[in-house]
A and B are shown apart, each in its own frame.
Chain A
Amino acid sequence: MTDRKIRVLIAKPGLDGHDRGAKVVARALRDAGMEVIYTGLRQTPEMIAEAALQEDVDCIGLSILSGAHMALVPRILEVLEEYEMTGIPVVLGGIIPDEDVAALKELGVTEVFGPGAITVDIVQVIQKAVAARE
């Protein structure tokens, strides 16, 4: 009888004012049957963690185009830990150099998607990561 839906928070941390990519991903996830909590531009790490906690999401998707990912992501993971949200899958989209991808995964990011990523892959990665936690 359970009516379970995957809930995903899509957030744009940092100062870049571009959310077209984030919106495309949000729509793709919706079309895959997920419930997407869309929070808009310029989210602080605290806002992201607070929203993830209140919305009890299964996964967090971050879109960072500013190049500040190496500063933002570790901070966000730190705040998530403070909010007792450790272990929640975090996926990242943006233009991220290979060496940073390795470092981010080392920190606990589930997957990193570049500008050429297809949404089907994003959907699959999220579905797998959420299933693995249950």
Chain B
Amino acid sequence: MTLVKELLSGSKRALARVISQVENDAPAAHEALAALFPHTGHAHLVGVTGAPGTGKSTLVNCLTMAFRERGDSVGIVAIDPTSPYSGGAILGDRIRMRDLSGDSGVFIRSMASRGSLGGIARKTADVVKVMDAAGFDIVVIETVGAGQSEIEIARLAQTVLVVEAPGLGDDIQAFKAGILEIADILVVNKADDPRAGNTERALKGMLELADGRHVEQMIWHHGMLIAAAMPAGSSTDESWQVPIHLTNAISGDGVTALVNEIYNHRAYLNESGELSRRTYARVAAELDLQLREHLMRRLLKGVDIERLQSLIVEVASRRTAPHQAVETLLDHCE
């Protein structure tokens, strides 16, 4: 428990250690998370997602400098993919965040996506909670724009920036389904590229076609284990018009306006009641997922492994159909 105390009194070393415990699912992690949970809820969580190479890390560098100018401290969780072949990873986001070094109000942590398929590591939500408890005013989460990460980042962050850039393949193709539903703010980075105007126009056209945003419904997943009621007053989130911002993350052009917009969005979430609706949906989804994991683990303990092995042989030699094998296993579960 001393590590948690040290973390709460500002030790960066303790913060780094607790993050590792959480990431590794170490035995001490559960206790630490429980002790830290009452200290969470202060940070504003900003998600930055988009395809690789759009300039997310470079933009996070600029954004963080601007947050610091306003006096806000910043924790950054930067996620890069784990190699499916070796389980290892090269985490290179820090290369673009040089300007932040030496500032004690900034803490950068690189994370590999490890087991998860999406652009977010399974443990990201817990790591973000640890940073929140450490007292950062803003926590920025940079994800790999791939797989299920759109929904995952919507579940985790309060303000989601979707970053696009010109010249990364066919513009419309690049805007995958789902992106407009989760974006609170759209960013066209690399505004110095002459094609940026086309990207912006394409995005505008898509925004006009979109039928409103349903962020809570996105967070709240279908097929929840236990039917809880959706929060009262939940509706299409129409009062926030998704803005498009052009930025040049290398020169910093457009970044001040973008940072202003992030603060606007935070104020909007608070004033409209949208924040508490999203929080409700997020907590429901989180509990549902954890319940699922624990139930699954508990149930799997009852599966007779020897029987399973002999059934695999039977199915492989086509003596038993897969669904029959599963039924046999279920019949013999404790």
Contacts and interface: CB of A to CB of B under 8 A. Distances in A.
B220 to A, nearest CB: 28
B129 interface: no
A5 B87 contact: yes
A31 B98 CA distance: 26
Contacts of B13: 53, 83-84
Contact of A53 (B16, B89, B92): B16
Contacts of A35: 82, 88-89, 91, 110, 112
A46 B86 contact: no
Interface string A11-49: 000000000000000110111111111111000101100
Interface stretch (B21-29, B39-47, B280-288): B21-29
B234 to A, nearest CB: 36
Interface string A87-131: 000000000000000000000000000000000000000000000
Contacts of A78: none
B91 A38 contact: yes
Given A36-B91, A37-B94, A39-B94, A1 B20 contact: no
Interface stretch (B101-109, B184-192, B221-229, B301-309): B101-109
Contact of A5 (B27, B88, B94): B88
Given A33-B86, A53-B13, A3 B25 contact: yes
Contact of B90 (A30, A33, A44, A54): A30
B138 to A, nearest CB: 16
A51 interface: yes
Contact of B94 (A3, A40, A56, A83): A40
A55 interface: yes
Interface string B77-119: 0000011011111111011001001100001111010110000
A133 interface: no
B25 A34 contact: no
Contacts of B195: none
Contacts of B87: 5, 33
A36 B83 CA distance: 11
Contacts of B26: 2, 4
Given A3-B115, A31-B83, A55-B16, 10 more contacts: A4-B24, A30-B86, A32-B86, A36-B88, A36-B90, A38-B92, A40-B92, A50-B101, A50-B102, A56-B17
Interface of A: 1-5, 7, 26-27, 29-40, 44, 46-47, 50-51, 53-56, 83-84
Interface of B: 12-13, 16-17, 19-20, 23-27, 82-83, 85-92, 94-95, 98, 101-102, 107-110, 112, 114-115
30 contacts: A3-B24, A5-B24, A5-B87, A5-B88, A7-B20, A30-B83, A30-B90, A31-B85, A32-B86, A32-B88, A35-B82, A35-B110, A35-B112, A36-B88, A36-B90, A36-B91, A38-B90, A38-B91, A39-B94, A40-B92, A40-B98, A46-B101, A47-B102, A51-B94, A53-B16, A54-B16, A54-B108, A54-B109, A56-B17, A56-B19
